Chain A
């Protein structure tokens, strides 16, 4: 059983933090994993993606073949569509709805949402939920929570990984991020 995930967004949105937490949780569950990420020039305000593969057997390629992504997890709506060629026929798009506009030709948000609605999808107002959790910047954790039912990893294991990730920043930070994660997870279950 292999789960293929593409995490998309814009450089600086916390994509690698999400990937790192899923990696840690997968390792704790004794699974194999391969996770490819983008460094260097592309990170400067450009489109950034991470391929993440989790499996109960050995994984060879760090890149997901097109048409084989079970989940596109995106921190920004337009970026979720950039990786559509990878989406499996029964795959799902889980995306934040708040656009990140740093280009002059950013399309009408409603057109983007309509494109997303053509596929199996879950739209999340991540910023509002993050604010509810106590920090608008924690929207990447909200998105991790919203995607959690599709990862094949128990929520408790993911929560342990979140704790481990943020413990050096203090227990308040851990609690805030756990809260953001839980709000996202609750949103997914509605």
Chain B
């Protein structure tokens, strides 16, 4: 096997292919998107016929993955941290059913919110579901951990959660792959009591899950993913996952020799931790995300031996870095840092030149001028950048689908006009059910589906409802006369504004599909076509 240069995300993908998966199920979300994209672009995966099409949302992805596992095959599910909220129902219950073929759930957390609305820590979900969690610290370990996780999942008959954070997912290093494994044979489960979560069965399964906890802890105690770096002194560090890399960076560069216990496997190996902590007076607990295990180790009434995010030794929020660790470990190199000159202006992300969302916002802003109340409920996607100048067009952005339902709630409260803007991919992800609520209640809302026929924010993945949005809205029950399609182009501006105004005045549910392809995917298609037919 030749060494390869891989992102952490790509190391997961390659490891899953090599571990013999038959499918990957995912909805795109930074920083997890590249896992599925790697499998989609892999020749090996294509030859094997590994399923890799995008799912409509994380819940449908999760349940499909569970079905593949039911059939005896190995399956990978990937999402970003907030995606697990969407899939949470299936996720928690999959711990109660257990799995058949190996199933690894990758969740990529985004501390510092580089591209997210919150920085929730997936390890909390691991504890919540009583499932084992693996948190690798670097790329080679990530590859090895995924291979291991599939075997472990089959051995324990449980989904295994793999948690990574942005900096591991989006950093590249050299990875040495191992020999590929064949896919599992088709072998559907016949154990109905395991899979039918009627209370009578669920109670039994839940008890079994709790019984397995001792075994899971025993596995953590001897896991190759945990290790101790010997050292001297009365101060020590317990580092979890990628935090280990920052601790070791400072330890090496400052030539220190404090002892370090690295943990990458949960539930916590309590014997290992107890034996380690007994030797030291002062222990820094370093984890990326929430102080999940710091809180646990410190205990409710606090043990003053432990330091970390809770007592301010480390910042309470945000991703870690070598600088943050150097400060926490009392390392100062005495060199004054250069400041960023005041002349440097901020350069925030923005909607692309020629993007159809720009025209939609311009038209909307003009139409809104006639109203005393101007409130535009937005959603998650490129168009969220409509919050920034020169548009400053939107008032809310909460979660996938919330534009539709918040507009409905505000309309129920008397807001007029109640207008939502949502992308096509987000609409099928989480907007359709909210639209049905609005239809059933005849709420006076105007839903603008800014349809660029792709999942643009994450790089242009397929969008589940492309070409069928009209039919979907009609099927949900929106009156045909109030499903309007506009082409957001300057030349249509007057006509589009008139349609917007008309529908905003309609006292029922109206949907305006503003349809024009994403400039990025359109130009990519042109380039690919030019490549296929050389002049």
Contact = CB atoms under 8 A, between A and B. Distances in A.
A24 B123 CA distance: 34
A87 B338 contact: yes
Interface of B: 3, 5, 7, 30-31, 33-34, 114-115, 138, 167-168, 170-174, 244-246, 248-249, 252-253, 321-323, 326, 333, 335, 337-341, 343-352, 382, 385, 457-459
B341 A45 contact: no
A33 B345 contact: no
A89 interface: yes
B344 A81 contact: yes
Contact of B174 (A10, A32, A78): A32
Nearest to B110: A40
B33 A39 contact: yes
Contact of B349 (A43, A62, A66): A43
A107 B345 contact: yes
Interface stretch (A98-106, A124-132, A144-152, A178-186): A98-106
A14 B120 CA distance: 32
Contacts of A42: 114-115, 349
A10 B344 CA distance: 14
A37 interface: yes
A2 B344 CA distance: 29
Contact of A84 (B335, B339, B351, B352): B339
A99 to B, nearest CB: 11
A23 B340 CA distance: 28
B345 A84 contact: no
B341 A81 contact: yes
Given A44-B382, A84-B338, A87-B338, A35 B171 contact: yes
Contacts of A61: 245-246, 248-249, 321-322
A157 to B, nearest CB: 14
Contacts of B170: 36-39
A66 B174 CA distance: 24
A177 B315 CA distance: 45
Question: Is chain A's interface secondary structure helix, strand, loop, or mixed overall?
Answer: mixed
Q: Which one of A34, A46, A60 has the greatest number of beta carbons of chain B within 10 Å? A: A60
A78 B31 CA distance: 27
Interface string A9-28: 01100000001100110010
A105 B174 CA distance: 41
26 contacts: A27-B3, A33-B174, A36-B167, A40-B30, A40-B31, A40-B457, A41-B30, A41-B115, A44-B351, A45-B347, A45-B349, A45-B352, A47-B346, A60-B244, A62-B173, A63-B167, A65-B249, A65-B326, A66-B337, A78-B345, A81-B340, A84-B338, A84-B339, A85-B337, A106-B345, A111-B343
A121 interface: no
A84 B340 contact: yes
Given A23-B5, A84-B339, 13 more contacts: A20-B5, A33-B5, A36-B170, A37-B170, A40-B31, A46-B347, A46-B350, A60-B252, A62-B245, A65-B321, A66-B323, A84-B340, A115-B341
A112 interface: yes
B519 to A, nearest CB: 11
B114 A33 contact: no
Q: Which one of A39, A43, A81 has the greatest number of beta carbons of chain B within 10 Å? A: A39
Contact of B343 (A37, A87, A112): A112
Interface of A: 10-11, 19-20, 23-24, 27, 32-47, 59-67, 78-79, 81-82, 84-85, 87, 89, 102-103, 105-107, 111-112, 115, 119
B337 A11 contact: no
Given A62-B167, A65-B323, A103 B347 contact: yes
Contacts, number: 144
A92 to B, nearest CB: 13
Q: Which one of B34, B167, B343, B347 has the greatest number of beta carbons of chain A within 10 Å? A: B347
Contacts of B338: 67, 84-85, 87, 119
B250 to A, nearest CB: 8
Nearest to B29: A40
Contacts of B346: 47, 103
A60 B246 contact: yes
Report the 6 A-B pairs with minimum CB-CB distance, sorted nearest first: A40-B30, A40-B115, A62-B171, A46-B349, A61-B249, A44-B349
B349 A11 contact: yes
A23 B322 CA distance: 22
B399 to A, nearest CB: 16
Given A63-B321, A82-B344, A27 B174 contact: yes
Contacts of B348: 46
B350 A45 contact: yes
Contact of A81 (B3, B34, B173, B343): B343
A47 to B, nearest CB: 4
Contacts of B347: 10, 45-47, 78-79, 102-103
A33 B385 CA distance: 34
A41 B114 contact: yes
A44 B339 CA distance: 26
B33 A105 contact: no
A82 B52 CA distance: 39
Nearest to A64: B322
Contact of B114 (A24, A40, A59, A102): A40
Contact of A40 (B323, B344, B350, B458): B458
A84 B341 contact: yes
Q: Which one of A34, A42, A45, A61 has the greatest number of beta carbons of chain B within 10 Å? A: A61
Contacts of B457: 40-41
Contact of A44 (B31, B33, B352): B352
A41 to B, nearest CB: 4
Given A44-B351, A66-B323, A85 B339 contact: yes
A164 B5 CA distance: 14
Contacts of B459: 39
Contacts of A11: 349
A103 B345 contact: yes
Contacts of B253: 65
Nearest to B348: A46
Contact of B322 (A65, A78, A82): A65
B30 A67 contact: no
Nearest to B244: A60
A33 B322 contact: no
B14 to A, nearest CB: 16
